[in-house]
Amino acid sequence: MTNHELQTLLALDRSKLSHDGRPLYNRLIFASSPYLLQHAKNPVNWREWDDEARNEARQRNLPLFVSIGYATCHWCHVMAHESFEDEEVADILNHAFVPVKVDREERPDLDEFCMAACQTMTGSGGWPLNCFLKPDGTPFYTLTYLPKEPRRGMPGFLELLENIATVWQHKPDAVDRNAGSLMEALSQMASPPPPDPNVLLTTLSDQAATTLQRICDHQHGGFGNSPKFPMPPYLLFLLQRENTALHELAFKSLRAMRSGGIWDQLGGGIHRYSTDRQWLVPHFEKMLYDQALVAYAALGAYHISNDTTYREMTDNLLGFVLRELTSPQGGFYCGLDADSEGREGACYVWRKQEIDQLLRDTAALFCDYYGVTAGGNFEEPGENVLFQAVPLPELAARHSLSEADVTSRLEQCHRSLLEQRSLREQPLRDLKILTSWNGLMIAALARGAALTGKQEWLTAARRAAAFIATTLSSDNGRLLRSYLVTASPVKGFLEDYACLAWGYLELHQASHEPTDLVQAGNLCREALCLFRSSDGRLRTAGNDAEQLPITLPDLHDGVIPSGASVLVMNLVRLAEQTDDEAWSKEAQELLRSYQGNLQQAPVNSLWMVLAGLHLLEAGKLASETTTH
């Protein structure tokens, strides 16, 4: 879908359509998500996840086929083109299943549940995430991307649908056994592991640091091999330890990202991940949460080192968001697609001949710096992903120029190429505004303003906070999840409350407005009431919202810290800034509830481990084991 096509659908008068959107659309034409609207013209009779879809599955005695993705997802587009736009696939989905489309960004609880089922069943996960459920909502089979027909050792999606339809009709016992096994495994996953009362919090912190040192790529920066994600929670943990060797691991990773192809060297901002160890060839989507959290990590590096490299990184990331992902009302959009012109990365890659023609006398300098060759380094021969191939001082020496002169010439090259790039078809901009991701962006902008004094960032943060406060709150004050033209009725999740409170805490640090601290406290207090379960841990969805068959603990810090981890850190900071012991007691209660999980895999919950360390250092933790 292009930006023009999205705007056309958003401007459509839906009141004149039939209840199912036919004949031009399916039911998704009434959705408030760009991802769902991308599928509104599919021949598949998609529904949204609601009681009507589940009731239809019960009445027709058919399984639910729940397909989960997001608007900027490359492989979601590939499967849509190959299968969901195909009449043959649509026919079997419409007759043998009740097909449901879900935007994972609107329903993180449903995505989390189905992803846990997929990882339990297959050992891996990803998007598009496709889950077959019984009408009662229990999963019995899952998969991610499959081509329509068998290819390169992969089974075909069409044949799989036919097989599952046959099993559903003729072997219901097999379906029940699969569902029962999956639910049993998920139940075990949801149960808190027993804690060891003798394990110290500092020991968990040391274990996490040791793990990060072991999985760190000491040659190229970052963690693991490939694909390689920025992983801001890892960086933030390393930067907050009093250890220069750990700091250097974070510094090296940040510098490697900045010079790599994962960074948009012309337009600014960071792509979602690198497909290789060297940070060279990215998966080209740009997500708001990456811009916010990598900027927050760069600010941490700048605060420690006073190295302007990290200040420039922050300027680059936040500048990109303010130019490209900011709504007229002040909220921040979710991100930019990986694809344009029907393929991934088409907007971003360059051929040397094209650059030579555009830049003429400065082409050699530009190509030398950004590693541009006639052979290229991308999928198609001759196509180049730009990366910083040589240090700037070395480049200046090679071309017998001063560094200032080189910088000036490169900036002129950037302007010329960006002007040319603007003439290409632009990636889809996901215009959805999520409360939680806006909270992250508010936090990064306010933190940046506090460290640099840049008032433009503080103004942008306050505009976004005002937009959320006035637009994404129901009449009774309940925080809502998302906005596209109008606010979605989906109630806010734990991460929405936690991340927005984080934003307000950073606003208070930047300008010392008492109302910011009050807002943060109110959000945390409401979160404790809405999301605490009977075992003391926190659930993703509120107790006033739909409950899925199993409640999984919201604890894993992935590319974003978990809602539970952020909330505990917020409570610790509230305790520090208000001298109210009630906040530290609440934080300690949650740490106690999660102790078994933290001991099992401390590297999965780094933000919560850090929160515990802050309590310990402040002398507000009753016991270093958090059990007494």
Burial class (CB in 10 A: 0-12, 13-18, 19+), 550: middle
Same domain, yes or no: 416 and 459: no
DSSP letter string over 57-71? HHHHT--EEEEEE-T
Indicate whether 292 belongs to any domain.
Answer: no
Q: Give the end of a domain, one of 189, 223, 247.
A: 189
Q: Give me the numbers of helices (H) and strands (E) for the chain, helices first please.
A: 25, 16
Same domain, yes or no: 541 and 609: yes
Same domain, yes or no: 394 and 490: no
Residue 340: strand, helix, or coil: strand
Same domain, yes or no: 474 and 523: yes
Same domain, yes or no: 502 and 418: no
pLDDT computed for residue 310 by the predictor = 98
Buried b (16+ CB within 10 A) or exposed e, 329-364: ebbbbbbbbbbbeeebbbbbbbbbebbeebbeebbe
DSSP letter string over 211-235? HHHHHB-TTTSSBSSSSB---HHHH
**Residue 98: CA count within 13 A, CB half-sphere:** 23
DSSP strand E in 327-416: where? 335-336, 339-340, 343-344, 350-351, 383-384
Residue numbers in the chain where pLDDT is lower than 70? 620-628
Parallel, antiparallel, or unpaired: how do β-strands 486-487 and 350-351 relate? unpaired
Residue tagged 């696939």 (tokens): 89
Beta bridge partners of 133: 64, 139
435 phi and psi, to 5 degrees? -60, -50
Tell me which residue range forms the domain holding 176.
Answer: 3-189
Q: How far apart are CA 505 and CA 510, in angstroms?
A: 9
* Contact predicate 442/503, CB 8 Å: yes
Other C-beta atoms closer than 10 Å to the C-beta of 391 total 11
pLDDT computed for residue 626 by the predictor = 54
pLDDT computed for residue 618 by the predictor = 77
Same domain, yes or no: 355 and 492: no
What would you report as the CA-atom Rg of the chain, rounded to the nearest whole angstrom? 25
Indicate whether 272 belongs to any domain.
Answer: no
Indicate whether 519 belongs to any domain.
Answer: yes
pLDDT computed for residue 625 by the predictor = 62
Burial class (CB in 10 A: 0-12, 13-18, 19+), 406: buried
DSSP letter string over 569-587? HHHHHHHHHH--HHHHHHH
Q: What's the farthest any 2 CA atoms get from each other in the chain? A: 77
Same domain, yes or no: 457 and 395: no
Residue 133: strand, helix, or coil: strand
Same domain, yes or no: 410 and 459: no
Indicate whether 120 belongs to any domain.
Answer: yes
Q: How far apart are CA 139 and CA 120, in angstroms?
A: 11
Q: At what angle do helices 435-452 and 308-324 cross, to 10 degrees?
A: 140
Same domain, yes or no: 508 and 384: no
Q: How far apart are CA 265 and CA 274, in angstroms?
A: 14
Q: How far apart are CA 208 and CA 218, in angstroms?
A: 17
Q: Give the end of a domain, one of 189, 207, 229.
A: 189
How many domains are there within the chain? 3
Give the CATH number for residue 492. 1.50.10.20
- Taking phi first (over 0 means left), then psi (-120 to 50 degrees means alpha), and beta for anything else, what does residue 404 get? alpha
Indicate whether 205 belongs to any domain.
Answer: no
Residue 145: strand, helix, or coil: coil
Same domain, yes or no: 545 and 606: yes
Same domain, yes or no: 375 and 487: no
Same domain, yes or no: 486 and 576: yes
pLDDT computed for residue 352 by the predictor = 97
Give the CATH number for residue 169. 3.40.30.10
Q: What is the identity of the amino acid at 46?
A: W
* 182: its two tokens: 């999956």
Which H or E element spans position 238? Answer: helix 232-240
Question: Which among 344, 427, 479, 470 is positioned nearest to 4, based on CA atoms?
Answer: 427
Q: Name every residue whose Cβ is closer than 8 Å to that of residue 217 and which is 6 or more positions away in sequence.
A: 223, 224, 225, 228, 277
Q: How far apart are CA 34 and CA 109, in angstroms?
A: 19
Q: How far apart are CA 468 and CA 331, in angstroms?
A: 7
pLDDT computed for residue 475 by the predictor = 84
Q: Name every residue whose Cβ is closer than 8 Å to that of residue 515 and which is 6 or more positions away in sequence.
A: none
Beta bridge partners of 68: 102, 129
Other C-beta atoms closer than 10 Å to the C-beta of 306 total 9
Q: Give the end of a domain, one of 170, 189, 208.
A: 189
Indicate whether 97 belongs to any domain.
Answer: yes
Indicate whether 296 belongs to any domain.
Answer: no
Indicate whether 154 belongs to any domain.
Answer: yes
pLDDT computed for residue 152 by the predictor = 84
Question: Which among 69, 91, 65 is positioned nearest to 80, based on CA atoms?
Answer: 69
Query: Is the preceding peptide bond at 282 cis, omega within 30 degrees of 0?
Result: no
Which H or E element spans position 54? Answer: helix 51-60
